[in-house]
Amino acid sequence: MKSTSPIPQETLSLLSEKSRCCIENLLANIAALDHADLSHFRHLQSRLAAVLVLLYEENGELRVLLTTRSKDLRTHAGQTALPGGKKDASDANLTFTAYREAHEEVALPLDCPSIYTLGPLDPFISLHKLLVTPIIAFLSNPEIISSLRASQGEVSHIFSHPLEAILDPSIAKHEPLVEIGSEDWPYESEVYNTSDSVVQMLGNTSYRMHRFRTSASPVKGLTADILIKVAEIAYAKPTIYERYAPNQLQGIVDVVKAIQDHEETLATA
């Protein structure tokens, strides 16, 4: 599995101007990214995971592939996720992990000539203290989406969402959204909901939970955080809502250090 895959100019030329600019912004950002040094947090090396942020264009807008996790799973049951999972010892790298998991979960073809790997972003930390690296990719043939199949017992639903709607949730109003007040959107707000909470393992700092109404299960938590970052880079603009809670830790190094300090405090208590 290639770590990056150059996109032919003729492929980019078939995109809308906005989508083409987004892909070019992502490529430029990834190429220039000075990845955070987490090598001194040795305990994390056994907690590596990756997710695939697969983008494709439909009707002139970029969409992102999403899944609803099976309600039979032990963790995050029934929640929205990007295809992905923990790195196996046999995985060559995290890019391979992301594609392997996507193949297992939704039957995304491996080594597909229509999929171009743009590269990785800095990792995020999950609720279960996994270091999750987003692998960004672009699918030039959206017909492949209709051929995907959910893995029984792992995935209950495959769907997509406009990437720009993560920055401005009102953009999703034209989508066939789930009913307000339903199990998948038990909130009164039309397309976006948020709340802040104090997180003990992050040094009692605050964390802002973002929730986005979709055509299936809501985008929230880690998946929302990853897509916010991807969308901000792609569209070169901020969210229309306040991204962070007051005193929220923002950099991955600060977040990991806070978790490590918390674990050390518990160990000596």
Q: Which stretches of the chain drop beneath a pLDDT of 70?
A: 1-5, 72-77, 269
Of 165, 216, 161, the residue nearest 192 (C-alpha): 165
Distance in angstroms (rounded) separating the CA atoms of residues 114 and 107: 15
In the chain, the percentage of residues whose pLDDT exceeds 70 is 95
Q: Is residue 143 domain-resident?
A: yes
Can you give the pLDDT at residue 234? 99
Counting the structural domains of the chain, the total is: 1
Say what the pLDDT of residue 172 is: 98
Q: Is residue 100 part of a domain?
A: yes
Looking at residue 8, its pLDDT comes to 94
Residue 1, domain member (yes or no): no
How many other β-carbons are positioned within 10 Å of the β-carbon of residue 251? Answer: 10
How confident is the model over 85-103, as pLDDT tens digits? 999 999 999 999 999 999 9
Print the domain residue range for 124. Answer: 9-268
**Domain-located, residue 3:** no
Q: Which two structure tokens, joined as six digits, stand for 179? A: 């009913």
The answer to whether position 4 is within a domain reads: no
CATH of the domain at 259: 3.90.79.10
Reduced DSSP (H G I as helix, E B as strand, rest coil) percent helix, strand, coil of the chain, to 5? 35, 25, 40
Q: Is residue 74, in this structure, part of any structural domain at all?
A: yes
Query: Is 194 inside any structural domain?
Result: yes
Cα(71)–Cα(68) distance, rounded to whole angstroms? 9
216 falls within a domain: yes
